Every structure is written in structure tokens, then in C-alpha cells.
Structure 1
Amino acid sequence: MILLLFLANYLSFTTARSVISTFQGYQEIETLNQEGTFIANLDPDSKTENETINIDKTRKLYEYLDNHYTYALQVDGFVTSLENEHEMEVTFSYINEEAYKINQFSLSQGNHLTFNYQFNQETIPVLVGAGLATTYPVGSTIEITDPVTQQLVNLNVRGVLKENTHRSNFYAPNIKNYFNFSIFLPVNEEFIQRAGLDLHVNGLTDIALLDSTEDEAMNLKEHIQKNLGLELNFFNQQENFDYFEEYYVYSLKIICTIMFILLIIIVCLATWNNFTSIRLMKKDFTINLVVGLSYSKLRAIFYSYFGLLFSINLTLLIAITAFNRYGFWLRKESLYATYGIFGLLSMDWIALLIVLFIDLIIGVTIVELTLTKIKRIPISVGVLN
């Protein structure tokens, strides 16, 4: 009974949290879900020949982009060694002005980024994640070798991102990168020309064209394929949502079906167990009812029992979730490290409340069915014979 209940609770929790995360992702990406916006991704059937791609070609391609298109570019995950109190790996996130406007990141301290700096002639304004705020407060300077230009740069901390600032994936809105240990570096045309091949290629495979047309997107696709040998698809965000929903909803249906079957089994098993106990203990129930045990007190006893049972399961769920969240800190996976009560995020707590609500329905169903059965026991001396 306990094992089945825990399994059902875990499935309920996982499903609820996934749905909440997906809903959050839809809300965040909705700004891109409009006419004239096309998002690139690498065609899965594309056979890229790396020898056809070089830095000169990608520089020319970005010049072409700057002259003919308005685009949003953000590339996350370039890891660097930077001292901090948590000894976490630090990632660089490169973002251009259009992407910065779209994301509208909130700050806990300082000011927003500016993009009109001159590379190698002045310090570059940056934002840091909440986990780096103590080591690198607003106004401090970071001297470091930039991962994509491989040049020594001076970064000036202009602001601090709010805790758990994140970005949802265009193609799977339930997946998020968290920026508690990231440095946001503003990208302008000069920086792009000085950046390395990794940033150029990674940026192209996730670039978003703004205020464009389908013909213009297809022209860019052909231009990239002709000059770099990269075969990119350009879809609008609604097409990305539709593709995601195809497999996500199907998986969700399977999980929900399994969960529903488990809940039915739990209710049936618990009710059958209680009915069997009532039949075997009919004399005991009769004696207790005769000497003053009220149905309301009996109801309270049953609810206390199931309340304890559900509390144990919820405590286990919280412990497992907290351990998983803390595991990212132990493994130094900075893009997934988060802050929260016991390490849990708001969507974790909401999912736990949903599980609690489901448990309450189960408990009420079992207890009321059991009491209905007990009330049918005739309270008479004859039952004791």
C-alpha cells in the first residue's frame, strides 16, 4: 500500500511539475510566437563537413546578417575557470541587444547592459548571476581570458541577475538553463567579428530572425548552406510548439494513464483491506460502539492514520527532490544549480500541493467508504454471539 501510494505520488509530482515548467516556458517564449519571427535549428539529417567551415566564412556570414536582417542571438554554456565562494564552474552567456530586449531579465542590483562599448579599448559591462554576487559585487572588475575570443578582457560588473533567472528552450519549453553562476556578456558587431568559430556556429544554430518573412528566412537558409555547408531549418515558434506537443502530449497521456490506474488500484486495495478488517473485527467494532465510541471519533482516527501515511510520502518526495536539486551543486553543474527553500523551486512546491490535493481525494474516498460500511453493522447484542 505504501509503495503503491509513493509510486503514484511520485508520478503525480513529476507530471505536475513538468506541466508547470512547460506552462512557464510557453509564457516566456510567447514573445517570439508572432508573425515575422523565425528560429533556426540544425537539420537532424544534415551531414556537416567541418572542413568547409572556417572563421573567414563565418565572419562574412555575420556581416551579411548585420546588413540584411534583424536577429536575436544568445549562446549559453561556455565554461571558464573563475574563482567564487561556491567553487562552481562559471559559464559565459553571450547575448546581443535584440535577444536582451526579448528576454527582459530582472535584476536584483545594479543596472542593465549597454551594447555600445569598444572591444579592447574599454571595460566590457556584464551581468553576473546571483551565486556570483558576493564574490563579484556591482562595480567590481573581472580580468579574465574570454572563452570565445581567447583574449584577456576586463569586465565591469554592471548588475546582478535575480536568483534562479533562467531561459527556457525554444524547442522543449519544459527544459531550462539557470544563470545563478553565469556571466552575461553583451555582443555587438565588433565582438562578433573578434569571436571564435564556436560562438559563430553555435549562434547560427539557435538564431532568431525578427521582423522577417518566410522568403527571407529561406534565402538565408540557402545562403548558409551554400557558404558553410550547414543545413538549417527556420520555423516560427508555433511550429516549434506543435512539434514539441506531438511527443510531449503523447508521453503525458501514457504517464497519466499509468498514474490513474495506480490510484484506482490504491483506492480499491485500501477499501478492500478495510472491508476485510471490518468483517473480521465486527464484534470489536460493536463493543467499542456500544461503550461510547462515536462515528465522528472513528472518522478522526481514520483520517489521522491516512494523514500520517500521506505525510510520510510527501516528506520522502521533498527529500528526494531536494537531494536531486542539491546534486547539481555537488556535481558543480552550474546551469542547473538553483536556490530555494530546501533547494526546491516554486514549481516544485506547486506540484507538491497538487499531490497533496490528490492524496486528500484518495483519503476522503477511502475513509468515507469505510465508515459507510461500518455504519451498516447492526449495533446489537446478537452480533456478539
Structure 2
Amino acid sequence: MKRKNIFISIIAIILVALLNVLTVYTVSNGISYWEGYSALNKLRKQKVYLGNDQITDNQDKLITKSQVNNTKAKSILNYLDKNYDYAISWDASNGSHVNAMTMDQKSLEMYPIKVAQGQNLKVRDFHRNKVIPVLVGSKLAKKYPLHHEFTYLDGSTGKRQSYQVAGILTASSSIPSPYLFQNQNYLDNTIIVPLTTYTRAHINLPQIANGVQNLLIFNTNQNQIFKLEKFFKSQDLNVKFYTVQSSIDQEARIVKSALIKLAVGIIILLIVIVVLLKYLIRKDTKMQLKKFISSLIGFGLLLGILIELVLGFSLPMLSIVGIPKWTSLNIILSVLSIVLINLLLAVIITIFQRNNPQKQ
């Protein structure tokens, strides 16, 4: 009987660990979703259309081969400039170990990014063609300090371009993903490069294709959107556009379904753990049950807190600069949920003990 009790105790400990992992994961995902939702509030209040890349593999191969030919890329930008109010940005890393993102002025206005040192990009910075000011993520500040000048491969020309650090971003600065709210684009290891008139003059099709997923169209109607989709198709790019609200509604359905499943999983785990502990309380005659229960609850608390602080799930780690708002909220609520779930277990165990006193 003793071996059986030990075996059940081990299972109970494993399930408590799993319960804490699931609890933290559920809370963190819920907060992460709300962070992305809140970040898109400015877009949600307007009728903004989001570009959605539907480029086929064959088209992608043709686009990759057309880097030298800038005619279509310039045609697309000119068409957008003439007919639409838009914002565009894209990954400009170019295979480098340093992340880089090209952003136009409108994008920076829509996603206001704060700087901890220096200054943000000015209107004039988008019209430079020699030494171009950039913003640097907080974790790159040592390598690229304020006012530091460096060269980096320009994706439009294939040549090295000179840049100078104008500002250091606040820790955990991010840009929301319009389609996946739980996938915030954190900028701690990113250099933000302005889309200058120089870059626009040499832009290529792969850059435009890269920016399609981050293309926002403002102050328009469905007929104008149909025309834009048709124009993109004429330039060998398949792009569909959806409103921000439709994207939010779709993501909300997905997240709601996932959170319900996680909640059901937590309830089932709780029931199984309670059944196992009830068995131990009724059957055990020799093991020091109070010590075991204390260890079980303590283990669950420590494990959950460790998971939250070390892994961090979908939110960034603590920064030496400070703890950002959403990270703080994530930590506080996740730890609180762990305390509550283990406190609930402790209360249930106490009730069982009172109703089923141990055999002497």
C-alpha cells in the first residue's frame, strides 16, 4: 500500500506542475492577446485596410530574380502615392545577424515608438541620402550607442550605406501584428531605418513584396480596394485587403476558442488532482501527509513563478532598463493566478482532511 501511495503522490506532483504551467500559459496568452488588441485601437477606430500577402511560390521565385529590375517596384509606389493614403514597412535584415526594419513616415505615426535616449525620427530624416538617422533597439545600445555612425547593406542598391544612431528605443518597444495579436514584433534587437527618398528611388520588387503584409490603406472604400488588388495583380503580386475590424473579429474567435480549451484543461486537471489527493487522505496511514501537501503546494508555487520569470512565454524578459507595462501586468497576474490555483488546492485538501481525519 505504501508503494502505491508513493506512486500516486508522484503523479499528483507531476499533475500539479502541469496545472501551474497551464495556468501561467493561459494567463500569459490572454494578456498577450489584449496587448495586441489594445495596440491596434488607433487603427480599429478608423476604416483601415490591411494588406495580406497571397503570393504563390512561383511568383516568389520570379520576384527574387527581379532584384535588378526596379520598374515594377517604382510603379507600385508611384501608384500608391498618387491614389492612396498608406503606410508601409518591411524587414530589411538582408541576412545579417542584426535585425533591421524599413518604415515610412506614416508607419511611425501609426505605431508611435518612444525613445529612451536621443530623439525620434523627424520629417527631414526621410529625405536624406547620405548619412541616414536610425533608431536602435535597447539591447543594441552598447554596440550602436547614441550618435554612433556605421555602415549597413542597403537592400535596394546592394551597396553599403552610412547610418547614424539618432535615438535608442525604450525597452520592449513593439509594433503590433494586425493578424496575430499574440505575436508582437519586439524591437529590442532591431534597427529602424526610415524609408527615404533615396531608398524609394532605388527600391526593388522583393522589398515591396516583403512590405505587402505590413501595408495599411487609410480613408478609402471597397471599390478603391478592388482597384488596388487588380493593380497589384497586374504587377505579378497577389494581395488581398481586409479591414482591421474583420481581422480583430477573426483573431478573437481563434483566441476565445483556445482559451476555452485551456480553461477546460485546467478544470479537468484540478478534478484529477483532487481525486488523487482525496484518495491519499483517506487511505494513507503512515506518510506525513501535512509535509507532503505543504511540499506539493510550495513546489507548485515555485515552479509557476520560475516559469513566468525565466521563460516569459510570449512576452519579453525583464530588462535592466525597467519593467514595461505589459510585462509587469503579465508577471503580476500570472503569479497571482498561480497563488490562487494552489490556494484553491490547499482549501480543498483542508476540507477533505476535516471530513476524513487520518487513521492513527
State TM-score, norm by structure 1: 0.78
Q: What does residue range 1-385 of structure 1 map to in structure 2 within 5 Å?
A: 1-43=12-54, 48=59, 50-51=61-62, 55-76=70-91, 78-79=93-94, 81=96, 89-117=97-125, 121-226=129-234, 228-277=235-284, 280=285, 302=290, 306-320=293-307, 324=311, 338-340=317-319, 345-346=327-328, 347-374=330-357
Cα 1:338–1:369, aligned 2, differ >3 Å: closer, same or farther? closer
Distance change >3 Å, CA 202–CA 324, structure 1 → 2: same
What amino acid maps onto 2:303 in structure 1? Answer: L
Aligned partner of 1:314: which letter?
A: L
Asked whether the equivalents of residues 46 and 231 of structure 1 are also in contact (C-alpha less than 8 Å), the reply is no
8 Å CA contact 1:38–1:208 kept in 2: the answer is: yes
Q: 2-side partners of 1:65 and 1:121: how far apart?
A: 22
With over 3 angstroms needed to count, the CA separation of the structure-2 counterparts of 1:145 and 1:260, relative to structure 1, is same
CA distance 1:47–1:352, shift in 2 (3 Å)? farther
Per-residue deviation, residues 312-369 of structure 1 (Å, max 9, x unmatched): 233334445555469x9xxxxxxx974448x994324532321221111221122133
Contact persistence 2:121–2:135 (CA under 8 A): yes
Aligned residues: 340
2-side partners of 1:202 and 1:120: how far apart? 23
> Unpaired segments of 5 or more residues in structure 2?
1-11
- Name the SS of the counterpart of 1:143 in structure 2: strand
Check 1:305–1:349 CA distance in 2 against 1; reply closer, same or farther (3 A cut).
Answer: farther
Local SS of the residue matching 1:51 = helix
Note the aligned Cα RMSD (angstroms).
3.2
Instruction: Pick which of 352-361 and 96-105 moved more.
Output: 352-361
Letter in 2 for 1:358: I
Aligned-partner residue type, residue 31 of structure 1: K
Q: C-alpha offsets along residues 138-193 of structure 1, whole Å, 9 cap, x if unaligned? A: 12211222244322222111110011112232111011222111111111344223
User: Equivalents in 2 of 1:151, 1:101: separation in Å?
Assistant: 29
Deviation at 1:310, TM superposition (A): 2.7
The higher radius of gyration belongs to: 1
Aligned amino acid, residue 242 of structure 1: D
The alpha-carbon distance between structure 1 residues 16 and 116, as it changes in their structure 2 partners (threshold 3 A), is: same
Distance (Å, rounded) in 2 between the aligned partners of 1:49 and 1:276:
66
Q: TM-score, normalised by structure 2?
A: 0.83
Contact 2:300 2:342 in 1 (8 A): no
CA shift for structure 1 position 272: 2.8
User: Helix, strand or coil: the match of 1:235?
Assistant: strand
Shift of 1:120: 6.8
The residue type equivalent to 2:88 in the other structure is L
Change (3 A) 1:159 1:306: farther
Is the CA contact (8 Å cut-off) linking 1:66 and 1:189 kept in structure 2?
no
Identity %: 22
| 1:140 counterpart letter in structure 2 | H
Structure 1 residue identity aligned to 2:41: E
The answer to whether the Cα contact below 8 Å between 2:117 and 2:167 also exists between their aligned partners in 1 is yes
Q: Which runs of 5+ in 1 are unaligned?
A: 82-88, 286-300, 329-335, 378-382
Cα distance in structure 1, aligned partners of 2:187 and 2:297? 35
Is 2:47–2:244's contact at 8 Å kept on the other side of the alignment? no
Distance in 2 (CA, whole Å) between partners of 1:80 and 1:141 is 21
In structure 2, give the amino acid aligned to 1:315: L
Query: What is the CA-CA distance between 1:35 and the residue it aligns to?
Result: 3.3
Separation of aligned partners in 1, 2:60 and 2:283: 70
Secondary structure of the 1:361 match is helix
What amino acid sits opposite 1:220 in the alignment?
L
Q: Retained in 2: the 8 A contact 1:109–1:159?
A: yes
